[in-house]
Amino acid sequence: MLRRRWEREGISGALRRASNLVASINQRIALMGKLDGKVALITGAGAGIGRDSALAFAREGAAVAVVDVREVRAEQTAERVRAEGGNARAFTCDVRFLEQVERAVTGALSEFGRIDAVFNDAGTTRQGSVVSISLEDWDMVLDVNLRGTFNVSRAVLPHMIERGSGAIINMGSVDGLTGDPNMAAYNAAKAAIVNLSRSMAVDFGPRGIRTNCICPGVIGSPAILRMFTDERRAAMEAATPLRRIGRPSDIASIAVFLASEDSAYINGAAIVADGGLMAHTGIPA
């Protein structure tokens, strides 16, 4: 019967069916996200870059463990993900404390069964030079940024090692590659995170786990924008070759890329996203 159908329809009919099949396959591929079937754990996901990243990961098909020190904010982000049709669960922890991190990671594994990607976005800053900053502020900045990145990575890596795969994205800064005045603790913490990321890439790359670092310039998260006067924002925009400050979504899209197979051969990189700020010598024209 199939032979008679082919004889009746001829070559043109066969080509038409083949074309329809290809179109159907292409349509299915187009609907697939970069992170379909994956699970991501994102810290600092209650606001700013972390929240935009949780939404971006979910839009690409990932289930998201939304981690934040503020329970209300974590729940709000998770609810936004679910409102868009995504899968998310909120977890509250202070990344400075390993036992809290381990509880959140255990909860995420219990909820989703696996963790494929981690975005260590939780961070804070305090102003001050080595002389002027208080010891409490120094400890806070180093503990949240550097120890927090260490704690989350330490808690997740055994699971990734067992599975033989994973992607860890750490939040650096251009301040980790150069130095801003009166930001001693933040500069030091972010520089350490850049090199910690390289160390992790070397140590765990052979186990199938990629570690990379994003180094943003000035990003207009709500917390940063509240600190800016109109004059300060204008000055930052003028100093940036793209003539704008960054958006949280600018960084979220890089995190998605680094968590996806599109970056399968990128390991140990510090990716600068600053609108060209560091490309300028600073010497007046």
Per residue, what are the HEC states of the chain? CHHHHHHHHHHHHHHHHHHHHHHHHHHHHHHCCCCCCCEEEEECCCCHHHHHHHHHHHHCCCEEEEEECCHHHHHHHHHHHHHCCCCEEEEECCCCCHHHHHHHHHHHHHHHCCCCEEEECCCCCCCECCCCCCHHHHHHHHHHHHHHHHHHHHHHHHHHHHHCCEEEEEECCHHHCCCCCCEHHHHHHHHHHHHHHHHHHHHHHHHCEEEEEEEECCECCHHHHHHCCHHHHHHHHHHCCCCCCECHHHHHHHHHHHHCHHHCCCCCCEEEECCCHHHCCCCCC
In a domain, 112, yes or no: yes
Q: Which tens digit of pLDDT belongs to each residue from 123-153?
A: 999 999 999 999 999 999 999 999 999 999 9
In a domain, 93, yes or no: yes
The residue from 119, 186, 204, 257 that is catalytic is: 186
Q: How many domains does the chain have?
A: 1
In a domain, 26, yes or no: no
Query: CATH number of the domain that 158 lies in?
Result: 3.40.50.720
In a domain, 8, yes or no: no
Residue 265 among the catalytic residues: no
pLDDT exceeds 80 at position 101: yes
pLDDT of residue 229: 86
pTM assigned to the model: 0.88
pLDDT of residue 224: 78
pLDDT of residue 19: 61
* Residue-range definition of the domain harbouring residue 216: 39-279
In a domain, 251, yes or no: yes
In a domain, 30, yes or no: no
In a domain, 12, yes or no: no
Segment of 30-44, 86-100, 216-230 carrying the highest mean pLDDT: 86-100
In a domain, 134, yes or no: yes
